[in-house]
Structure 1
């Protein structure tokens, strides 16, 4: 009897344990949910349509993937850089995170904190990308990110203001300077910059360097060999614009968002910034809808630059932390998010497509279509702060800021730029 009772107890324990194991399997296959934490830079939902696009894409993913949810945290661009750097140093990166490519992401990758994606990308994924999208996140044949969009420095011209003032829209740099002087003579601020966000003024300096010295000489200078005085020549060009009062005297006090409102209200005739603004310009509620055209930044007659050379390129990526516990799912998620954001950005006017797609041209922002045609054979140099990496890039932006303030001469600027190799 005791023997039968023992057998009964053992049998019940086995069944009970089997039931527990079955429950675990059922939990994994049924009710379990993976949460992927994601960081990005588009934090200003009330002012930034790009953040709304990203939010919508992530909502679509979460709706279509109930067992793999993306949880988002967003921080404004400059603060984000500090947050990302700190998280990398303490090995606390989220599962998925936004990063710029080139020199900015290189230290992250070298630290071993970023997951190489090669083994997680399904067959054919790389064929879905447009050409030259991964060069800025590929190291030693390993791919460390997928692109969200393709960025191009863009010269916006308010044609209505030019027509009203009877001033010629510039086709070269001499005509550009003539337009600056003519608008200033009429009491209008010719160019827009919000230099409290240092990168806005940097864009003007960088495109002037590209126009003055060309792509290869600029790259050479950024690599520590400025034997053609790239830095000095561009600094003199920017100083000339500042001396001509091309920028509003309040420009140094404005953040980008604050200053940009002046262009959106039709108060400023010319603005050089990224193609991410095209969507807001052509939005239904825009005050300057159909009043703005895009052009290549004017060529300098004596310069070495070409109208097929642009600032920008594939600069915006999503990456996966090496500490991510659900790597396969995270890579699947960034592939979905990147593809859909690329498409929606192009349609709205926030960027050129990084991924191939069958686009309905009737839905595409007209300025995006114009820019795509303008840049068909383009060659690109990353924005210098991204190309140089965070520390050197920040130093570059500060030096440009000093040029705007007249606190440094072009010669001093060039001398300090040549010292950037000392910054680590």
Structure 2
């Protein structure tokens, strides 16, 4: 049973809501300087990405070689860096005033800061002839003041990935639809001797997914949007989100040693799921491929369900939290880099990304390449979304996003209170 394909109507309606959660700015002018991909002189393009796990680890270098073969005068310097290390490198590069020709971006406040510094190429005119081939919602995180600064290659959402066999062992008949049901299921799993959840506590960003989703489910998207404008996160919805997360953390639901666990390593969060040692993880659309890369993978035992609603909350189950990934260019990137982005955003390449089971489609028509039933559910859920919120550690300025991650991690570790989380985030936001 496959989902209804992405439609233009669906994405236009969702995109209008998505744009509300991404701050606008007066864009810097683009720079059209640089060598052309069609010149006889060899052009070297430095491409920074985070393709360190499968399927990207194998597929992306292959794509780079294919592009070089078709464009003999272009040489691609491929630089892949693990997620957290990449973020640190990009922070240093931004401070230095020079970014790589092509670089991975999640958009939002981090990209805005780089644009404000005059380091990013305005792609609006370059991509105008073919931008209409892309799904509108996939572009929202990279648009500021009507201008486009990056081209997406993935779009998706965070949700719960679960082990059907372990749920059955714990006599759980169906995935939870409410937070109260999730809490009860955690108790059932523990009673059955099963570790309920895997979490990469060392890297912090996976933990913020819980707090962000709870804030959405309790206060609704308008509360997050208002907080982003007022820089005030001390409202009751945010405090209650912390209380609900503390309620979960007090049940000791995570694997032993989770505070020092990473996400993609052989003993980290993804491997805990992929090797069948835990029943659930809250993660994005890339989860199945990383589970298989870090562990054995669950095959048909893997299932997916959206983040539950909270009784009495203002948020709807159709409001999703997540984001995608895209490529932006440095202000001095050669024109050949623009051509590469156009090629990478072609339906042929997008279908290959989708077929690898590590990415969601961003090009209209590429959704037909989806074969994995769980990824079809993600696709369908995103396609029918009535609201969309970008990852908080990307939607907000870098310092605010980092404080979200740090404060929520402290709460999960029992070293902070729900009130302190909101106070620290607010203090950081107001100091920017």
Which range, TM-score by smaller chain? 0.7 to 0.9
Of 38, 54, 57, the residue aligned with 1:51 is 57
Structure 1 position 242 matched with structure 2 position 249: yes
The answer (yes or no) to whether the contact 1:231–1:417 under 8 Å persists in 2 is no
What is the DSSP-based 3-state SS (H/G/I as helix, E as strand, rest coil) of the residue aligned with 2:195?
coil
Match of 1:269 in 2: 279
Map of 1:14 onto structure 2:
none
Cα pair 1:197 1:255 within 8 Å, conserved: yes
Shift of 1:118: 2.1
* TM-score in terms of structure 2 length: 0.84
Residue 109 of structure 1 and its aligned partner are, at CA, apart by 0.5
Q: Secondary structure at the match of 1:269?
A: strand
Q: Which residue of 1 aligns with 2:12?
A: none
Other-structure match for 1:380: 388
Q: Distance in 1 between matches of 2:328 and 2:371?
A: 28
Report the alpha carbon displacement of residue 281 of structure 1 after superposing the two structures with TM: 5.5
Question: How far apart, CA to CA, are the structure 2 residues paired with 1:229 and 1:29?
Answer: 58
Cα offset for 1:211? 1.6
SS at match of 1:190: strand
1:142: which partner in 2? Answer: 147
- Counterpart secondary structure, 1:375: helix
The answer to whether the 8 A contact 1:221-1:230 is kept is no
Equivalent residues of 1:149, 1:341 under 8 A apart:
no
Gaps of 5+ in 1: 1-27
Would you say the 8 A contact 2:234–2:426 is kept in 1? Answer: no
Pick one of 106, 113, 116 that aligns with 1:107. Answer: 113
**Equivalent position SS for 1:35:** strand
User: RMSD of the alignment, in Å?
Assistant: 2.2
- Aligned partner of 1:306 in structure 2 is 316
Checking the alignment, whether the CA contact within 8 Å between 1:348 and 1:365 is kept in structure 2 is no
Query: What per-residue deviation string (whole Å, max 9, x for no partner) do you get for residues 124-167 of structure 1?
Result: x1110112232222223321111111021021121111112212
Tell me if structure 2 keeps the 8 A contact 1:282–1:365. Answer: no
Residues 270-289 of structure 1 aligned to structure 2 (within 5 Å)? 270-280=280-290, 286-289=296-299
2:205 aligned with 1:199, yes or no? yes
Matched, 1:34 2:43: yes
Q: Identify the match of residue 160 of structure 2 among 151, 155, 159.
A: 155
2-side partners of 1:82 and 1:287: how far apart? 30
Aligned to 2:332: 323
- The structural deviation recorded for 1:179 is 0.5
Distance 2:204 2:422 in 1: 18
Q: Is the 8 A contact 1:221 1:231 kept in 2?
A: no
Paired with 2:343 and 2:210, the residues of 1 have a C-alpha distance of: 34
Give the match's secondary structure for 1:256.
coil
The corresponding residue for 1:259 is: 269
Which of the numbers 214, 218, 223 marks the counterpart of 2:220? 214
Normalized against structure 1, the TM-score is what? 0.85
Q: Note the C-alpha offset of 1:414.
A: 1.9
1:291 aligned onto 2:301: yes
How far 1:238 moved relative to its partner? 0.8
Please, which of 220, 229, 247 is the counterpart of residue 236 of structure 2?
229
Alpha-carbon distance change, 188 to 345 in structure 1, aligned in 2, over 3 angstroms: same
Matched with 1:13 is none
**Number of equivalences:** 388
Q: Is the radius of gyration larger for structure 1 or structure 2?
A: 1
Q: Which runs of 5+ in 2 are unaligned?
A: 1-36
**Mapping of 1:59-70 within 5 angstroms?**
59-70=65-76
SS at match of 2:156: strand
